[in-house]
């Protein structure tokens, strides 16, 4: 269950002053702060991802320099009914801080009660998910479903803000579909009821994950002089070059990265290094990759138990070893191995088999 927090940081004013304009934003950007904790000039956030951003994966992303992380989304109905799966997602560890717990729901009373439960787990932030496009969430008017009823979204958010002393943030999409992109209005109204940061995925619910994320709408929120909370941009950041290009072009206060981190927690290190020096780091070699995969397995087993820990690692191998020649046979051995010890043996064999491959040949 949730670890006792040693520190509690107040979210506080995230930036001393709001930057001016999109293109020139880097010149004016000020230090990102989380209470007394400085997140740096340009924080990189690990996106909340169901079945991915659990403590074992978060450990690796933190190691690679991720500035702020979120739990997988947690159903408020599950939380208030003590559902084991929901409660387990409240597990947070000191090394992960600062961390946000993300909830989703549609009922006012449940959201308020869940906010109290989350507070007991002592994260730095409570984040509300208004972006999940999945049918079974949307049809209950939760996640992105609420993008069809902005008044209700504002009401729910207001209630959550009032139910907790934690800083509340929101993650959402541009709108329900192309005809209902109200993100500028949404950001203002949510700020008015007290949220302290907003993360915007530049797609509509209708797009799901198709097409390209449209960051022009995100930039409009950033440039709105009424908006003084941090705006984090999200959608399709998959390389250091793109990260810097979008940072400069759209003026966001930080980047939230999801899919590109799966099988590649090094992306945080790579982007940081590129932002600071303009140089690209070489891809991790096979030895480094395998060492990280082994650690991922060990963390997974120690947090979930041997059976589930081994089982749930299966979804990661494809991404970790993407681009390796003749990977199919190895992958099928990895997904059939029943215990961690056997996985370690296979991975050691892989390391020897691929030792001739130049690290630059590996696709990240
Ligand atoms: C496997 C998976 C699970 C996700 N689960 C969540 C979630 O629990 N909460 C949430 O707000 N978004 C969730 N998302 C959306 C991501 O946080 C992010 O907004 C989206 O992937 C776009 O960012 P990206 O292009 O960097 O991946 C999920 C995405 C993926 C691929």
Instruction: Say how far apart CA 326 and CA 333 lie, in whole Å.
Output: 13
CA 131 to ligand 1: nearest atom: 11
**Terminal Cα distance for the chain, rounded:** 34
175 in ligand 1 pocket by Cβ < 6 Å?
Answer: no
**Angle subtended at Cα 259 by Cα 357 and Cα 74, rounded to the nearest 5 degrees:** 135
* pTM exceeds cut of 0.85: yes
**Which residue ranges form the domains of the chain, and what is each CATH number?**
25-277 (3.20.20.70), 286-361 (1.10.1200)
Closest residue by CA, ligand 1 atom 15 = 49
φ, ψ at 64 (rounded to 5°): -95, 10
List, in order, residues 6 or more apart from 36 with CB less than 8 Å away: 9, 10, 12
Closest residue by CA, ligand 1 atom 22 = 235
* Burial degree of 356 (CB within 10 A; 0-12, 13-18, 19+): exposed
Q: Quick count: other Cβ atoms within 10 Å of Cβ 352?
A: 10
Closest residue by CA, ligand 1 atom 31 = 259
Q: And the tokens for 36?
A: 């007394």
237 in ligand 1 pocket by Cβ < 6 Å?
Answer: yes
Long-range own/partner contacts, residues 76-82 (CB < 8 A, 24 or more apart): 76/103, 76/104, 76/105, 76/107, 76/110, 76/111, 76/113, 76/114, 77/105, 77/107, 77/110, 79/103, 79/113, 79/114, 79/117, 79/118, 80/110, 80/113, 80/114, 80/117
Q: Report pLDDT for 69.
A: 97
CB 272 within 8 A of CB 239: no
> 222 CA distance to ligand 1 centroid (A)?
21
Nearest to 11 by CA among 38, 43, 31, 30: 38
44 in ligand 1 pocket by Cβ < 6 Å?
Answer: no
Instruction: Say how far apart CA 206 and CA 115 lie, in whole Å.
Output: 29
Instruction: Say how far apart CA 278 and CA 151 lie, in whole Å.
Output: 44
Indicate which residues carry an active-site annotation.
132
Query: What is the Cα gyration radius of the chain?
Result: 20
Instruction: Say how far apart CA 311 and CA 251 lie, in whole Å.
Output: 41
201 in ligand 1 pocket by Cβ < 6 Å?
Answer: yes
166 in ligand 1 pocket by Cβ < 6 Å?
Answer: no
- The helix (H) or strand (E) run that includes residue 170 is strand 168-173
Output b/e per residue, 12-32; b: 16+ Cβ within 10 A: eebbeebbeebeebeeebeeb
> 81 CA distance to ligand 1 centroid (A)?
25
Closest residue by CA, ligand 1 atom 21 = 258
> 342 CA distance to ligand 1 centroid (A)?
31
pLDDT, averaged in runs of 10, over the chain (364 residues): 31 32 41 63 96 98 97 98 96 96 98 98 96 96 97 98 96 97 98 96 97 98 96 98 98 97 98 96 95 98 97 97 94 97 98 79 49
DSSP, residue by residue, 177-244: SGGGB-HHHHHHHHHHTT---EEEESS-TTTTT-S---HHHHHHHHH-TT--S-EEEES---SHHHHH
86: helix, coil or strand? helix
List, in order, residues 6 or more apart from 291 with CB less than 8 Å away: none
DSSP, residue by residue, 310-364: HHHHHHHHHHHTTT-TT-HHHHHHHHH--SHHHHHHHHHHHHHHTTTS-GGGS--
Q: Report pLDDT for 15.
A: 31
């Amino acid at each position: 269950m949730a670890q006792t927090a040693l520190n509690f940081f107040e979210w506080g004013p995230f930036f001393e002053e709001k930057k001016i304009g999109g293109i020139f934003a880097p010149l004016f950007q000020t230090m990102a702060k989380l209470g007394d904790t400085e997140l740096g000039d340009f924080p990189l956030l690990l996106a909340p991802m169901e079945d991915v951003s659990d403590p074992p994966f978060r450990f690796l992303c933190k190691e690679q320099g991720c500035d702020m992380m979120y739990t997988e989304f947690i159903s408020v109905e599950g939380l208030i009914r003590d559902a084991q799966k929901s409660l387990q997602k409240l597990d947070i560890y000191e090394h992960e801080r600062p961390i946000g717990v993300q909830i989703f729901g549609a009922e006012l009373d449940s959201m308020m009660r869940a906010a109290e439960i989350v507070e007991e787990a002592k994260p730095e932030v409570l984040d509300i998910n208004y972006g999940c496009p999945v049918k079974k969430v949307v049809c209950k008017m939760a996640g992105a479903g609420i993008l069809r009823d902005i008044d209700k979204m504002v009401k729910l958010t207001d209630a959550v803000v009032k139910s907790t002393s934690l800083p509340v943030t929101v993650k959402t999409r541009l709108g329900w579909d192309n005809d209902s992109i109200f993100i500028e209005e949404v950001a203002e109204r949510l700020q008015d009821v007290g949220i302290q940061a907003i993360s915007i995925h530049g797609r509509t619910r209708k797009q799901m994950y198709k097409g390209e994320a449209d960051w022009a709408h995100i930039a409009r929120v950033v440039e709105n002089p009424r908006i003084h909370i941090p705006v984090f941009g999200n959608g399709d950041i998959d390389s250091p070059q793109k990260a810097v290009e979008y940072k400069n072009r759209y003026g966001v206060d930080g980047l939230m990265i999801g899919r590109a981190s799966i099988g590649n927690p090094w992306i945080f290190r790579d982007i940081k290094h590129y932002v600071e020096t303009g140089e690209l780091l070489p891809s991790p070699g096979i030895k480094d990759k395998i060492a990280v995969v082994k650690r991922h397995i060990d963390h997974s087993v120690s947090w979930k138990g041997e059976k589930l820990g081994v089982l749930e690692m299966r979804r990661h191998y494809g991404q970790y070893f993407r681009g390796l020649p003749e990977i199919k046979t190895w992958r099928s051995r990895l997904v059939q191995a029943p215990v961690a010890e056997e996985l370690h043996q296979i991975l050691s064999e892989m390391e020897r088999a691929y030792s001739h491959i130049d690290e630059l040949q590996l696709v990240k």
